[in-house]
Amino acid sequence: MASVFPDTSVTNPDTGFAWADGDIWNDPDSGLTYSWYNPVWKTGGAGAEGNFVQVDGDNMTGNLTLGTDKITLDATTGNASFAGGISSDGYIQSGTNTGGKAILNSGTFNFYGYNDGVETAKISRGGSATFAGDVLSGESAANGVLIRGSDPAIKMSDTDSSNSEAYIGRTGSGTTAFQSFQLTDRSGANSVNIKGDGSATFAGNINLGDVTTTAGGTQVSAAGYLYLRSAGTSGATPVIDVYDSTNTAKAQIFADGSATFASGIYGNQGASSTTIGGRFVGNSSSDNYPAVRARQYVASGLNFQGVNAAGVTTWFVRENGASTFANTVTASNVTFNLEADDDTKYTSTTDSEGNVTRVYNGAVLDVKERIQNVLARMDAMEANEITDDATDSALLTLIASLSARLDERDAQIAALTARVTTLES
């Protein structure tokens, strides 16, 4: 309440004279003493003791307000309210050791919390925080985020029963394995489970990108397959890359369906007698490795087979080496192993995988060489026959000439004989 000062233009009621410098007036409302020094009033002291606060300390029985509603100190409840911030060069403490107590701005921590003298929470100036109990963000554990010091470490939930609940840092049900992250439905069934050892299980599909669009993506299906859709279509766009520890490409499958492999491709490597098996070997420096090897586990079974557009088998090679071809076979040469049934005519080698290779070293029949020899001999015989025919023709001509001459001589002899006979007569 503002003080109402006396009118100094009239007589001072205390002296009966005009107001002079140094005259004193006691304010009955504030208890302060003012002195008049024309043209202003100056404070010169206090009134009764109950109207002021002693310098060496005092007790106020009523409330104190500053700025009307900016600061209020309630003498009844002990509460204080401030419309603005509170600054302190030291710490600020609320409560006592026998109950709850909070300390602000103490040492390296901005906040300490105590319960019966036991530290329960603290927040450092660097932003880290420690809590002895649970930390809840939201309405409740059923509709919010709960951070706990026990299992589970973090639980996230809401009141919508159709949504899942998430747990971070939870001991797995029925197992000692620690779950780094767990997502369950409201029945408690796991839908996502990431363990502390790095392993993870997912009840549904895992999608990277969008496999339904040309932008491409990857899907690991819960049905047991991996679906890859590339954003490209050419043989220059890899869909799968396999590199070793030296960052060297070992296998690649491209968007156009082509593939490259730095080593062998195996089928039925477990040697099952009811399954087709084969092996493609690439980049092998050993002559013991064929480029392609097919192994048949059934006697006389097929190793290779060719089928035409109508589905009819046109050729095949069996595991015992027997082969059938429905049309012409063209080869630079054919050889026959003449001692194929003799096991002593083979040299056997075994590779690092236990595969045995037998190399024949017995007598062979070179069909090409034999045919060429026969043809050469036939050509020689035909050449000799032509020469013989010419000789025979000359002899026949000579014989014919001799026969004609003999006939002529016979005629001459006959004529001489006739003449002799005539002379003798």
pLDDT band at 255 (very low <50, low <70, confident <90, very high): confident
Give the pLDDT confidence of 342-368 residue by residue, as tens digits: 999 999 888 776 777 888 899 888 888
pLDDT of residue 125: 78
pLDDT computed for residue 355 by the predictor: 73
**Model confidence band, residue 1 (pLDDT cutoffs 50, 70, 90):** low
Apex CA 97: angle with CA 95 and CA 100, to 5°?
50
DSSP-derived secondary structure for 411-423 = HHHHHHHHHHHHH
Average pLDDT, the chain: 78
Spatial CA neighbour of 185 closest among 157, 209, 143, 206: 157
How far, in Å, CA of 173 to CA of 154, rounded?
16
Q: Mean pLDDT throughout 112-141?
A: 78
Confidence category of residue 194, pLDDT binned at 50, 70, 90: confident
pLDDT tens figures, 395-423 = 778 787 778 778 887 787 888 888 888 88
pLDDT, residue 246, reads 93
| Whether residue 146 has pLDDT greater than 80 | no
Most confident of 31-35, 182-186, 267-271, 322-326: 322-326
Average pLDDT over residues 302-331: 89
Report whether pLDDT(152) > 80: no
Q: Considering the chain, what percentage of its residues have pLDDT values greater than 70?
A: 74
* Confidence at 176, pLDDT banded by 50, 70, 90: very low
Helix (H) or strand (E) holding 238: strand 238-243
Query: What's the pLDDT score for residue 287?
Result: 64
Q: For residue 287, what are the CA distances in angstroms to 283, 284, 291, 350, 357?
A: 11, 8, 10, 12, 11
Q: Measured in whole angstroms, how far is the alpha carbon of residue 252 from the centre of its chain?
A: 15
Give the C-alpha separation, 415 to 417, whole Å. 5
Q: Where does the pLDDT of residue 53 fall: very low under 50, low under 70, confident under 90, or very high at 90 and above?
A: low
- The confidence score (pLDDT) of residue 172 equals 58
Q: What is the pLDDT of residue 314?
A: 93
Residue 106 scores a pLDDT above 50 = yes
Read off the pLDDT of each residue in 240-269 and give the average, rounded to a whole number. Answer: 84
pLDDT computed for residue 174 by the predictor: 44
**pLDDT (0 to 100) of residue 243:** 92
Q: What is the mean pLDDT of residues 299-303?
A: 82
Percent of the chain with pLDDT over 90: 4
Range of 58-62, 275-279, 386-390 with top mean pLDDT: 58-62
Quick one: average pLDDT of 76-91? 78
pLDDT given for residue 175 in this prediction: 46
Is the predicted pLDDT of residue 392 greater than 50, yes or no? yes
pLDDT bucket at 178, cuts 50 / 70 / 90: low
Q: What is the pTM of this model?
A: 0.41
Is the pLDDT confidence value at 105 over 70? Answer: no
Q: Tell me how crowded residue 156 is: count the other CB atoms within 10 A of its CB.
A: 19
